[in-house]
Structure 1
Amino acid sequence: MTEKLYYVDPYLKECEAQVVDVIREDDRLLVVLDKTPFYPEGGGQPSDIGYIDGVKVTYVYEKNDVIYHVVEEEVKGRNVECSIDFERRFDFMQQHSGEHLLSGVIHKLYRGNNKGFHLGEDYVTIDIDIYPFKDSMVEEIEKEVNNYIYMNEPFLTYFVDKESLDKVPSRKKIDVEGDIRIVEAKNMDCCPCCGTHVLRTGEIGIVKILKVEKYKGMSRLYLKCGKRAYEDFKFKHNIVDILCRKFSTDEKSVIKNIDKQFEEIFNLKRGVSYLNNKLAQEEALKLMESSKEGYIFKSYEDKSFEEVKYIGEALQNEPYIVVLSSLKEKNILFINNSDIELSCGKVFKEHIKKFNGKGGGRNEKAQGSFCDIKDLEEFSTFLYKMIKGIH
């Protein structure tokens, strides 16, 4: 049985310990100590990482009251120095403690129950058996939980046996045989937990709900606490600051200015689309007038493929086989509006790869792309010979 120093003092960063056992298990090397400051993965909280006598500890887990430290190489000594990555540990303490308060507030205000918890490297999620989760609820919950934080009340941790469970004001039903560890912030939250926590609520700093989405008939809340929330605010504030400078406005007016520009862009695009259609119709007339057969072939050096497709649309009701290319963007369009039985998609599927191209489509239309203009021109020539041969 390993002595769990992280329960005695969750702020302990370093300590001396004795190596009890070194185990080779498959491709892993495990170290067992008589006592450890390393928290093993459990209760939704990732394990600590750090060093044992300078050897990196990459993962820690517990089995049958023994804590196993996965190390990158063999630990030589018997009396060793242990040090954990405390910045990571304290981050997890902030997130885990913030999640407890948030879950307690949700239960208090809306009788919602935490049905799932994940503490990731970037954000925390909790699954609540309430759906839908309204914006007004999020606002009220955030206000309440952060007021708890400002009160800077203590977090209490203690073990209780089965006979004492009835005295624990837990928001979760507890049904165990042995002793169980309780984490409690009085008048805020109380529930069984094996994780590490801050000593006082003020150390959480802030809790911010990032978004809420539907998940298996419940609501999944994404949140950040403490330093993570600060870094998230700093990142988003920088974005807002850049937008304000670009739009020459302040934070209160930036959304209005963005909406205005979106409307202007939409109107411009609509105008450009109208002009492209007009130009495409004129070009389609020229192509039909110059065509002496039932097919049209044309390569454009200066037109984008978008412009080429406008021309194709202008020809879609005309009885031609059409092959149009954009040499500028190395794309090709193949259309069959004639009475000849010819599947454009099948032709592309069977032949375009021979010319180092890729693409596909339906019976009446297909399009493809190439990395090299020469390949595009050779494929276009292949189509020309094939179509001329069946006319």
Structure 2
Amino acid sequence: MDADSIPTKLDYYDNMFKLESKATLISYFKADDGRQALILDSTIFHPQGGCQPSDTGFVNVVDCDVKFAVQDVRSRDGIVFHYGVVESSGGDFEKGFEKGKEVILYVDESRRKLNSRLHSAGHMLDACMQNVGLGHLEPAKGYHFPDGPYVEYKGTVPQSELQSKAKELELEANALISRGGKVSVSVLPYEEASKLCDGCLPDYIPKDSTPRIVKLGNNPGCPCGGTHVSDLSEIISMKVSQIRTKKGMTKVFYTIGS
């Protein structure tokens, strides 16, 4: 197997709160779209996906005055691509990106925390739905981005109830935030993971796999590969700005406090 095709080890997968790490450079190149890119043997940068934006930050080459500003991170076939620009004091900076070089990764802390809070808030809404009489809605997808986060569900809500349900859901979510609760992450055999999720895992998860399960407080767990807060209280507060029902789908739009 070509070294460039070896899957990137996801360090954030095991430790969501790690913001600095060391890695080895696999390759530095110009991508098809013209952007400069790095592939490393491991990374703490979360790539865009799973309803969550990518991390940003820097990659510094050890013993070399070369810094790579990470502007976007994507994953393809298990390989993580770090896209950005080189910041150097001059000279032949490409020598600093030779294969095998040791690098230090720095994730932007403020962006990681915001993304983690938004992502956790989206999962928390799922946990609140049953308690406000919306348990018949089946989670479909989310968009946990700062410019318009929402969670989408299969099923509808009567137009006459949309406003009242938005208020109920907001009250329920803020009560949960106020009480707080530890957020834990576990990679488990399928059967154990299923039990942690109230005996039900999505059909897309293979039964011979070991899913990564996120558990928010005392609520049932859910499969997720993203980053999260360590305690629900870190979300601070939530505003359910709107609930829309259209074509058999319901969207819950939300914002979080600062």
CA root-mean-square deviation: 2.1
AA partner of residue 187 (structure 2): F
Is 1:212–2:243 an aligned residue pair?
yes
Unmatched segments (≥5 aa) in structure 1 = 228-391
* Alpha carbons 1:59, 1:69 under 8 Å: kept: yes
After TM superposition, the runs of 4+ consecutive aligned structure 1 residues lying more than 4 A away are: none
* Alpha carbons 2:75, 2:81 under 8 Å: kept: yes
Change (3 A) 1:167 1:35: same
Correspondence for 2:156: 130
After superposition, where does 1:261-340 map in structure 2 within 5 Å?
none
CA displacement at 1:198 relative to structure 2: 0.4
- Give the % identical residues: 26
Q: Larger radius of gyration, structure 1 or 2?
A: 1
**For 2:219 and 2:192, how far apart are their aligned partners in 1?**
20
**Aligned partner (choices 148, 158, 169) of residue 186 of structure 2:** 158
Change (3 A) 1:44 1:203: same
* Alpha carbons 1:61, 1:68 under 8 Å: kept: yes
Correspondence for 1:82: 105
The structure with the greater share of residues assigned to helix is 1
AA partner of residue 188 (structure 1): N
* Alpha carbons 1:171, 1:190 under 8 Å: kept: no
Correspondence for 2:40: 33
AA partner of residue 161 (structure 1): P
The structure with the greater share of residues assigned to strand is 2
Change (3 A) 1:188 1:142: farther
Change (3 A) 1:181 1:108: farther
* Alpha carbons 1:17, 1:34 under 8 Å: kept: yes
Aligned length: 227
3-state SS of paired residue (2:229): coil
Change (3 A) 1:173 1:207: same
* Alpha carbons 1:102, 1:145 under 8 Å: kept: yes
**For 2:16 and 2:222, how far apart are their aligned partners in 1?**
18
* Alpha carbons 2:201, 2:223 under 8 Å: kept: no
* Alpha carbons 1:107, 1:113 under 8 Å: kept: no
Is 1:99–2:122 an aligned residue pair?
yes
* Alpha carbons 1:30, 1:71 under 8 Å: kept: yes
**Aligned partner (choices 210, 232, 241) of residue 201 of structure 1:** 232
Per-residue deviation, residues 285-323 of structure 1 (Å, max 9, x unmatched): xxxxxxxxxxxxxxxxxxxxxxxxxxxxxxxxxxxxxxx
**Aligned partner (choices 56, 60, 68) of residue 55 of structure 1:** 68
Correspondence for 2:3: none
Larger RCO, structure (CA 8 Å, separation 6 or more): 2
AA partner of residue 24 (structure 1): K
* Alpha carbons 1:101, 1:189 under 8 Å: kept: no
Is 1:69–2:69 an aligned residue pair?
no
Unmatched segments (≥5 aa) in structure 2 = 1-6, 61-66, 87-92
**For 2:36 and 2:175, how far apart are their aligned partners in 1?**
46
Q: TM-score, length-normalised on structure 1?
A: 0.54
CA displacement at 1:208 relative to structure 2: 0.8
